[in-house]
């Protein structure tokens, strides 16, 4: 087994599937908006993007679907490159199901932070919350394997600096995803071998439940 309890071997499957799904959604928004650079005009974009006020009005799906939308091709390219480069190394270490769980709970973590810290009418989209979660996951994996962070630590620092310096980037989404991704991965790789699966399941389920409760409380406060 790998350090997370998965069967070793097998090429990445979840990572390219996630990339393909994001690209397909982007292509649909381009086709329906009639614009590559202003694809945010597409009806799907308006229905799926993360807007805290809309979530508070009951459109709860936005906390997940917003992570599959992107503002233009450059936004998509950077996120998909990062997803591929990091994901293809983490997925074999965690296993497909665990990798997907970390990705999704990281996405939810980023959305939770946006709900708490962003303006009610802010329009947020992109896979970067989940991608930052994978960065946190990679850092925890290396720490668990006692491998120096080196370039990975530098990568995280550089991306955090960019997050704070460039306008139009969701600082809350990035930090939320990074934190939750690290916590979720720690639960996977530090679970005791004798009771690995139940501990991992309880930890990820509990973390997801906490995030959903926080979102629900925030929705109630905004109504």
Q: Catalytic amino acids? A: 128, 174
Q: How far apart are the C-alpha atoms of 19 and 87, rounded to whole Å?
A: 10
How far is it, in rounded angstroms, from Cα 206 to Cα 74? Answer: 35
Tokens of 99: 């990798």
151's CB contacts (< 8 A; 6+ apart) are: none
Tally of CB atoms within 10 A around 99: 26
Helix (H) or strand (E) holding 155: helix 150-165
Q: How far apart are CA 212 and CA 182, in angstroms?
A: 18
Query: Residue 8: how many CB atoms within 10 A of its CB?
Result: 9
Count of residues for the chain? 223
- Which residues touch 200 (CB under 8 Å, ≥6 apart)? 4, 5, 98, 187, 188, 191
């Amino acid at each position: 087994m790998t350090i997370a309890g998965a069967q070793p071997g097998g090429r990445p499957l979840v990572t390219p599937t996630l990339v393909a799904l994001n690209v397909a959604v982007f292509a649909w928004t381009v086709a329906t908006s009639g614009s590559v650079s202003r694809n945010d005009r597409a009806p799907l974009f308006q229905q799926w993007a993360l807007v805290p006020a809309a979530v508070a009005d009951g459109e709860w799906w936005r906390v997940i679907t917003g992570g599959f939308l992107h503002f233009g091709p450059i936004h998509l390219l950077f996120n998909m490159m990062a997803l591929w480069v990091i994901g293809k190394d983490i997925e074999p270490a965690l296993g497909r199901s665990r990798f997907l769980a970390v990705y999704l709970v990281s996405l939810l973590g980023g959305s939770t932070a946006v709900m708490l810290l962003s303006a009610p009418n802010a329009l947020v989209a992109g896979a970067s919350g989940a991608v930052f979660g994978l960065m946190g996951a990679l850092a925890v994996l290396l720490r668990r394997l006692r491998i120096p962070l080196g370039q990975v630590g530098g990568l995280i620092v550089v991306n955090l600096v960019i997050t704070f310096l460039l306008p139009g980037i969701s600082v809350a989404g990035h930090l939320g995803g990074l934190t939750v991704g690290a916590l979720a991965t720690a639960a996977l790789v530090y679970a005791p071998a004798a009771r690995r699966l139940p501990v991992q399941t309880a930890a990820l389920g509990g973390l997801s439940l906490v995030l959903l409760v926080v979102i629900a409380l925030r929705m109630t406060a905004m109504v």
